[in-house]
Structure 1
């Protein structure tokens, strides 16, 4: 399938630079795959689309303050974007994005704040392997900043609005943005309605911002990301499947985590529990095995994310939804509005 089929014209002013005034004030486009009908709501009304017995799975990852500023000994300034730990036997060896990567040299020492420093150990495909002089978690806690997406240019941001209200497990460098719309009040109301709320963890990587590589969608490859499906979550999801109740995935990260751990057991589809790495890339004509409804934001053109939602709802349907969203001036990307696909 040609990658260009997943492109669309998006006016720059529709790329949300700030979140809505309140989380639940975002717009919500509801698309029913059976009827083909579209409805427009506020996210605060999402509860009416759930019924007793439904399962809602959320990603409880927490964005780490992964952006650091450092100085070269020559006085030049460097930005370090910490991505993930890469040394099994050396805890302070991390894969990073460096700006400007071309200027720094292998073996060069960068000063974060005296005496904290790091060394460029290796360069690989636009990234660097960096050896830090101290515990990275502590360095980030003291000197790091929350890394907002590259298309957000508004300097003044509230970092708490780039975390979900249920964020718990640190490790992501990008927020699971579909979850940003939920409030504790909405989640409490869903539970009172009889909706079972469960959690997985997938530490969203920087690869979420990487556009499709190649002229066809089949050429694209996903970066590996760490996930955990707790035993309690797997049990809850498997009970719902067995009893033919709906499983709602909040976000593409939840969808990918559940689907990458879907296995048939005694002829019945189940979700496995456990931890590991996934690089699952969902594209048409993939048939979803666990997820029956999907909550998601409006995604960037030519991205693996719009390919995933197209696999779930059909490319033509998604493109028509997006065209109407543009016409109605809905807000796109991380701080933008949401879709519920039933």
Structure 2
């Protein structure tokens, strides 16, 4: 039996895929799609929105757009959240040879996309970046605090990637698909700065060029990144230094645990000064509870920000956290008391040993017990 020739597609495959990670951008996606369509007239393109299960109807808005224009696609992620990982999933979900990443809040200049495509092709580059910090670019109406934080993060980023890249914190760029696929398994996928992640993971160093653009003011909705971007950035840097073997949540949990050590000692020290070393067991117990409580709230705010507990869930979460960590707390107090009284290690090292014993148990149990699944925020 002769094989039939497969039917030819009704439209040309995309030359360029624009990936837009979204969360609560229902008011912006239609306008962004309209602007991208106008900017890329004459170019075979597709637009992939990667949405982290927005509760404001963003996925439904994108589906409406996709029914009107088959070049628009939606990836709706359930149980996963994060800008960098969303970008990675979107870039791997297409056959286009060129991949662009831009925000869904209309702050990036979509009219630069054709020039980016022409530049990356004609100059045989690996990646082209929309830059706020080269001549002709700008940050718009940023306040002084945001501008100074961005410049500091930029200097740290330049040191990390060892490249003369003026805007390593940019979220607006275009990369060859083959370059992305060659380094994707080395990406941390952490935080918001996927460009920095790609540069630090690429081997050999990337051939790049920066094109100027001016960062626009947000037209709808509100920013979700301001309070978390620095923390996520530091976690990504830690992941790059330590490597992919240790989960990034454990890194965050450990950093907060380190702060908990100071909280613990800050409670224990005045107890011993007021009541003497005979009150060590009482002081260690009280310090453990206070440090555990502070660790819970910090982890809820930062480590598990995508699963953050609120309202009644917050109180219940604190209770379950304490219950789940009770075994670790008992081991903490028991071992610290034993070392203090039997080995005469001194109160500081006895307390520290107790903290370390409980740390691994606390992380392992609460990771699957207290914070169970991403919640809409």
TM-score bucket of the superposed structures, by smaller chain: under 0.3
TM score, norm. by length of structure 2: 0.21
Structure with more of its chain in strand, by fraction: 1
Q: Which has the higher contact order (CA 8 A, sep 6+)?
A: 1
Task: Kindly name which structure, 1 or 2, has the bigger radius of gyration based on alpha carbons.
Answer: 2
